[in-house]
Structure 1
Amino acid sequence: MTLPASRRHFLQLAGAGLALAGSGLPRSAQAQPATVAAPNADVGAVLLNFNECPYGPSPAAQQAARDSIASCGRYRFALAGEVRDAFVALAGIPADHVRLYPGSSEPLNRAATLWTGPQAGLVVADPTFETLGEMAAARGAHVQKVPLRNDGAHDLRAMVAAAHARPTGLLYVCNPNNPTGSISPAEELAWLLANKPAGTRVLLDEAYLQYSEQPSLIAQVARRDDLIVLRTFSKLYGMAGLRLGVAAANP
């Protein structure tokens, strides 16, 4: 079975990450960075475990950030609409299918809160980005970790089989995968969407998509209600510290 969800319920979870932080859960159940640089660490150091872009934002993005400082004492809500509209124009999806977030962590946590629990498990690759699995486990969900194939790619057929084997609320695919950089081709993802359990949602994390030649599946959120696609400006656009991300899904 899967957990019921609605737009209202989804929006009410804005504080889910903060609630977890203060919930008394063990540290391992909370999203924690693998390494924190010492205060006197060389700011030019490249911390490989964070997958940061060491070059930072483009000169144009840096100038836009500087220009915004003079008016940052105001709530400039219109700017969010401008960013959203620019994104949907590139993605070719309706504006009401997009929400902006501070990076990808919050929509990952919301997805786990909505669609996993004691009676709605999570299927992930092993290894992959761990935050979603930790959050789901903290909620009492069974987290089924499916080993990567010998070539390092997701074993999508084994993941679908695992989703059919027990009630699964969410199936997570990071493409390209973090930390292996391996690719799940579009035709294999199409097979996954066609063969997964009807009640299981797919969370497709495209944080590293621009580092590959793979097409995005984001346009499919306009045609189906069981797919959530995440994008972030943290990696390719060098904005890890500025915290900007996008979740695309059926409203």
Structure 2
Amino acid sequence: MSKSLLPKNIAELKAYSSAKSEKLTGTTWLNANESPYAKEFKLSLGNLNRYPEPQPEYVIDAYAKYAQLNAEQVLMTRGADEGIELLMRTYCESGKDSIAIFTPTYGMYKVSADTQNIAINELSQSLLLNADVSEICASIGGAKLVFICNPNNPTGSLTPTSKIAALAKSLSGKALVIVDEAYIEFCPEQSAAPLLQDFENIAVLRTLSKAFALAGLRTGFLLANTELLAPVRKVIAPYPVSTAVAMIAEQALNTDSVTQMRRQVSILNRNKDSLKTLLSNSPKVTQILSGEGNFVTLQLSDRSFIETAMQQGTIMRPFSLYGEDNWLRISIGSEQELEQVRLWLEQPE
């Protein structure tokens, strides 16, 4: 009976498969692009009988300062995923409008679009990186939202901000350019946030899940100018941010915590360089996608090597890419965690 009530697009929906959706057992977790750093936070929760601020002013102000924007350009969301969903719900008409994505890329753009019966114009990362702006815009066609994951997950590739600006200029009045900067702390000079001073049709997605080491908090931000954000503010749930989340986010964004985050990013970037050296010297690895972010994506000579790693308790993220199933994404962990990767790589084949 319940199946007969489902809309066709939901009945046929292929759900997003996150790194945590499989029940795996292991001791070294390098599969979800999480930070290896944990931190203690203080909570005093004597007021949970009251609703929270819809947009907690102290968190918004702190993030605006961090992002070098004005407070009215910042909307706090439940992870960057809610920002993706909100933009589609606000700007796309179900069964009529479309979005453009550049694959391979983050899978939630497709899931959110499919959920809301929004068509997807699936273009390639190669087109985004190598074609000129006029060719890209012609391929985008009538898409209302253009999603650029930058750095891109899972390839780590970067689209120059000059190209993002040129795309936004060319698409002015036709489409919004959405820049997903989940990994931007690992290459902050590449952020598109400064473009907001010149463009009304750019939005930037941010998260505290990666460099800020708060994947369990589910906190993100949507950055854009007032005119773009105003209708989104009408669509967002009335109380999207819990009191506890707001208190932790405020602490995570104070000056000392931001300094600590940047120090940790420097360590992780050094660890990434060490890992890439290890991988480049391994006969098990046939190709490394050199990119930004807190992960390295590589191709193995034999997919069975992944099983060996899992048996020793080292959990990484296998997936198919470019039509082949022998790809692996390794999150950058601590030196001790990456030592387990080295032991795996040096095991006899």
What TM bracket, shorter-length normalisation? 0.7 to 0.9
Shift of residue 72, structure 1, vs aligned partner: 6.5
2:13 aligns to what SS in structure 1? helix
Verify the 8 A CA contact 2:172 2:201 in the aligned structure 1.
no
Normalised to the residue count of structure 1, the TM-score between the two structures is 0.74
Shift of residue 77, structure 1, vs aligned partner: 3.6
Q: Distance in 2 between matches of 1:142 and 1:156?
A: 24
Structure 1 pair 156/111, CA: closer, same or farther in 2 (3 Å)? farther
1:33 matched to 2:18? The reply is yes
Verify the 8 A CA contact 1:186 1:214 in the aligned structure 2.
no
Q: Distance in 2 between matches of 1:243 and 1:23?
A: 28
Pick aligned residue for 2:35 from 36, 53, 56: 53
- Corresponding residue for 1:107? 83
Amino acid at match of 1:138: T
Larger C-alpha radius of gyration, 1 or 2?
Answer: 2
- Corresponding residue for 2:73? 97
Shift of residue 125, structure 1, vs aligned partner: 0.4
Q: Spell out the pairing of 1:53-202 with structure 2 (5 A cutoff).
A: 53-56=35-38, 59=39, 62=40, 65=41, 67-71=42-46, 73=48, 75=50, 77=53, 80-116=56-92, 117-149=94-126, 153=129, 157=133, 158-163=135-140, 165=141, 167-196=142-171, 198-202=173-177
1:237 matched to 2:212? The reply is yes
- Corresponding residue for 1:11? none
2:28 aligns to what SS in structure 1? coil
Q: Distance in 2 between matches of 1:27 and 1:156?
A: 36
Structure 1 pair 145/91, CA: closer, same or farther in 2 (3 Å)? same
Amino acid at match of 1:214: E
Shift of residue 230, structure 1, vs aligned partner: 0.7
Identity of aligned residues (%): 23
- The superposition leaves residues 73-109 of structure 1 with CA deviations (integer Å, 9 ceiling, x where unpaired) of 4656499321111111122222111111121111111
Verify the 8 A CA contact 2:150 2:157 in the aligned structure 1.
yes
1:218 matched to 2:200? The reply is no
2:178 aligns to what SS in structure 1? strand
Verify the 8 A CA contact 1:229 1:249 in the aligned structure 2.
yes
Shift of residue 218, structure 1, vs aligned partner: 1.5
Shift of residue 23, structure 1, vs aligned partner: 6.4
- Corresponding residue for 2:343? none
Verify the 8 A CA contact 1:94 1:222 in the aligned structure 2.
no
Shift of residue 173, structure 1, vs aligned partner: 0.3
Shift of residue 154, structure 1, vs aligned partner: 7.1
Verify the 8 A CA contact 1:123 1:159 in the aligned structure 2.
no
Q: Distance in 1 between matches of 2:30 and 2:77?
A: 24
Verify the 8 A CA contact 2:168 2:176 in the aligned structure 1.
no
Verify the 8 A CA contact 1:208 1:236 in the aligned structure 2.
yes
Shift of residue 196, structure 1, vs aligned partner: 2.3
1:207 matched to 2:190? The reply is no
Structure 1 pair 176/154, CA: closer, same or farther in 2 (3 Å)? farther
Structure 1 residues not aligned, in runs of 5+:
1-21
Structure 2 residues not aligned, in runs of 5+:
227-349
Verify the 8 A CA contact 2:102 2:123 in the aligned structure 1.
yes
Amino acid at match of 1:250: N
Amino acid at match of 1:46: W
Amino acid at match of 1:219: P
Structure 1 pair 154/238, CA: closer, same or farther in 2 (3 Å)? farther
2:216 aligns to what SS in structure 1? coil
Shift of residue 38, structure 1, vs aligned partner: 2.9
Q: Which has the higher strand share?
A: 2
CA RMSD of aligned residues (A): 2.9
Verify the 8 A CA contact 1:154 1:184 in the aligned structure 2.
no
Aligned length: 217
